[in-house]
Chain A
Amino acid sequence: MSATATEPHRPRIPQRISVLAGPAVMAGFALAVVIPFISLLLAALNPSGALVSGFAWPQHPTLANFGAAWSAAGFGGLLRNSVVVILGLVPLSLLCAILAGYAFATMEFRGRTALFGFLLLGLTLPYEAAVVPLYYDLRSIGLTDTPLALILALTGLFMPFGAFWMRQQFLALPPELVEAAAMDGANSWTVLWRVLVPCTRPALTTLGLLYFLWGWNQFLLALVLIQDPAKRTAPAGLGFFVGAYSLNVPLLAAATLIVITPVVAVYLVFQRHFISGMLAGAVKG
C-alpha cells in the first residue's frame, strides 16, 4: 500500500495496478460495447444472402447491401416519415415544456402543487399502459396512420419530464432577472422570451436532443399508431423488415445500420449534451 503519497484524494489501491486499472476497465467495457456493433458492420459488408460467420473480414466486401436494404425496406420513405415526426414533435414539446416550466417556476396560482403532482404521475408510466386505448381513441377520431397521432401522443408522454426539467432550469436562475425586467414594465411573455429563454439555451438544447432521441427511437407507439406501411417510421419499418428477411443476415445488418446512423451521428456531435442530460434527468429513459 504505497499509494498514499501520490494519490492523496482518491480511494487507494497499490500504485502499479492503479495506473493501469482505470484505463483498462474503461477500455475493456468500451470494447464490450463496440464489438457487437463491429460484428454487425462486418456482417453488412458481405454479399446479400451470404452465409456469414461470427467475426471475420468478408471475402468479397461490398457496400451493395446498403442499397439493397434501402430499396427493399423503402428507407427513403421511412426516414422521411421519421423526420416529419421529429420536426413536429421536438418544437411542440419544447414549447409546451418551456411554458409549463415557466408557470411552475415563477408563478403563484391555485392548485400549483396538485397540477405539478398530476404531471409527475406520468414520469413512471410505461408506454404499455396507455397504448391500447390510445389506439382505439385515436382511430375513432381518424388520427391513426398520421404523423400527428405520434407527435401528439409522444408530446404528452414526454411532457412530465420536460416541464420538470424546464422548471428546474428557471428556478436555478437568479430571481433578480425576472424582477428587474418586470420593474421595467415587461409583461410575463416578454420576460420569458427575452430574458429567461436566452439564459437557459444550453439546457434547452439538451432537452431538444433528448426529445429527438426518444422520439426517433420510439418503437411501440410507432408500431401501434401507424399501421399503414407507407407512413411507418424508420424503427417500426426495421421491425417489419426483420420479419420479412429474418434469414438474410447481411441485408438485415445493413438495414439496422441505416436506422442507427442518424441517431449516432447526432449523438457524436452533441455527445456532452446527451450525457449530461441523461445523467441529470435519467428518470425517463
Chain B
Amino acid sequence: MSVRAALPDGVRTRSAAADDAAAPTAHDRASTLPRGARGRGRPGRRGRRRIAYLYLAPALGVYTLFVALPWVHTIWLSFYTWDGVTLGTWDGFGNYRDVLTDPTMLAALEHALGFIVFFSLLPIAIGLPLAAVVGAAGGKRRYPVSRAVLFLPQVVPLIAVGVMWRWMYAQNGLVNRILDAVGLRSVTRAWLGDFTWAYVAVGLVGTWVMTGLTLVVFQAGIQKIDTSLYEAARIDGAGPVREFFAVTLPGLRADIGVALTVTVIAALASFDVVYVTTGGGPGTSTIVPGVLIYQLAFTDGKVGAACALAVVLSALIALIVLAIGRLVREKP
C-alpha cells in the first residue's frame, strides 16, 4: 500500500479503517480468481462452468445476431456490386479501389480526419488550460451548475443540436447578428450554404459539443493529481506555465487519452449533425463517411460501395483508437 505510506499522518489515521477493510479484498481477488467455482467440496465446479454460458447467452446472442453478424455481412457485401434489389455480382476488391480513388469517397474520408481537429484537438486545446485555471483558482470547488450546463450538449439529441445550429448559422441567425454588431457585416453569409465555410461551420458545431466534455473530464482529472507534486514544483521555483507542463499535463495523461478516444470516435463516425445541417453539401464540401454510406446504400443503390466505405471507416477508427491507447500507456 504505497499510497498510504505517502500520505501525511493525519490522513492515514482517518482512512486506516477503510483501507484495512479494502486490503483483504484486493488480496483475495488476486489469489482466488475462480471465485464462483471455489465452493469447497461442492459438486458444482463443472456445473458452474456450464452455467456461465447460460448467463452469457442473452447478451452474446443479441450482440452476435445484431452486431457481429451484420458486421461480417458488411464485409461480405463490400466485395459485391449490388443495388439492394436485383442479384449482386462479385466484384473482388473493386469497391475498395473506388474508396481509395473516387473523389467523393476520398473527400468524405479527408473530412472525417479533418473533423478530428474540430471535435478533438480544439476542444482538448481549449479544455486543458482552462481546466488548469479552474483547478488552480477553485481548489476543490466543483461548480455543480456550470458542470451540469457544460454537459448539456452531450445529452440532447445531436439531431436537435444540428437543427439549433442551422438557425444559429442562418442568414438572420445569431452568428451573423453578432458579426453585424461588431461591424463585420461584410463577412456575414448563409454559412451552411457556403462552399468554403460550410465545413468549418459544421466542424465548429463539433467543437461546441465536445469542449464542455473535455473541460469537465480534465477538471475531474486535476482533482486527482497528487498535491505534493505541485508543492515540489513550487519549491523548485516553477511558474504557473512550467507547472502546467511539468505537473498538470503529465498528470492528466490518462484523462487526455479518454477525451481523445471519445472525441475521435465522434469525429470519424459523425452523422446526425452533418445530415441535418448540410446533408454533405454544398456539393461535397461537407460530406463525411456516415452520410455517404447512408446515401450510397439507401438512395444511390450502391450497397457494395457503401459497405466497403463502412469497413474502411471501422478499420480507421479501430486503428486510431488503438494508437491512442498505445500513446497514452507509453511512459513519457
- Give A contacts to B, CB under 8 Å: 1, 4, 7-13, 17-23, 25-27, 29-30, 32-37, 39-40, 43, 51-55, 92, 95-97, 99-100, 102-104, 106-110, 112, 115, 118-119, 121-122, 124-137, 152-153, 155-157, 159-160, 162-163, 171, 174-176, 178-179, 182-183, 188, 213, 216-217, 219-220, 223-224, 235, 238-239, 242, 249, 252-253, 255-256, 259-260, 263-264, 267-268, 271, 274-275, 278-279, 282-285
Contacts and interface: CB of A to CB of B under 8 A. Distances in A.
Contact of B73 (A133, A163, A267): A133
B117 interface: no
Contacts of A23: 137-138, 143
A106 B167 CA distance: 52
A18 B166 CA distance: 37
A29 B217 contact: no
Contact of A124 (B66, B176, B178, B318): B318
A160 B60 CA distance: 9
Given A23-B143, A152-B65, A128 B271 contact: yes
Given A107-B48, A131-B297, 12 more contacts: A8-B231, A29-B215, A39-B173, A107-B36, A108-B34, A112-B52, A124-B314, A126-B269, A130-B74, A219-B159, A239-B275, A283-B258
Contact of B59 (A33, A51, A96, A106): A96
A152 B65 CA distance: 9
Interface in B296-328: 297-298, 303, 306-307, 310-311, 313-314, 317-318, 321
Interface residues of B, number: 125
A127 B269 contact: yes
Contacts of A188: 36, 48, 51, 55
Nearest to A174: B25
B271 A127 contact: yes
B247 interface: yes
Contacts of B311: 129
Given A96-B58, A127-B269, A267-B155, A43 B130 contact: no
Interface in B112-171: 130, 132-139, 141, 143, 145-160, 163-168, 170
A195 to B, nearest CB: 13
Interface stretch (B2-10, B92-100, B287-295): B287-295
Given A54-B172, A239-B275, A22 B32 contact: no
What DSSP secondary structure best describes chain B's contact surface? helix
Contact of B148 (A122, A160, A271): A271
B35 A106 contact: yes
Contact of B258 (A95, A104, A282): A282
20 contacts: A13-B136, A21-B134, A30-B146, A36-B164, A54-B172, A96-B62, A108-B49, A119-B60, A126-B317, A129-B311, A130-B70, A131-B310, A132-B310, A156-B64, A163-B59, A253-B167, A256-B160, A256-B163, A256-B164, A271-B151
A19 B137 contact: yes
Contacts of B163: 238, 242, 252-253, 255-256
A156 B272 CA distance: 21
B197 interface: no
B152 A99 contact: no
A103 B58 CA distance: 12
Given A25-B134, A275-B151, A259 B157 contact: yes
B1 interface: no
A109 B66 contact: no
A160 B63 contact: yes
A36 B174 contact: yes
Q: Enumerate the 8 nearest inter-chain pairs by beta-carbon distance, A residue then B residue, closest first.
A: A54-B177, A156-B66, A22-B137, A100-B59, A126-B269, A22-B138, A133-B73, A108-B34
A34 B173 CA distance: 15
A229 to B, nearest CB: 16
A223 B164 CA distance: 19
Given A213-B155, A279-B217, A107 B55 contact: yes
A13 B133 contact: yes
B286 interface: no
A7 B141 CA distance: 13
A249 B167 contact: yes
B4 to A, nearest CB: 19
Given A10-B136, A54-B177, A124 B265 contact: yes
B204 to A, nearest CB: 11
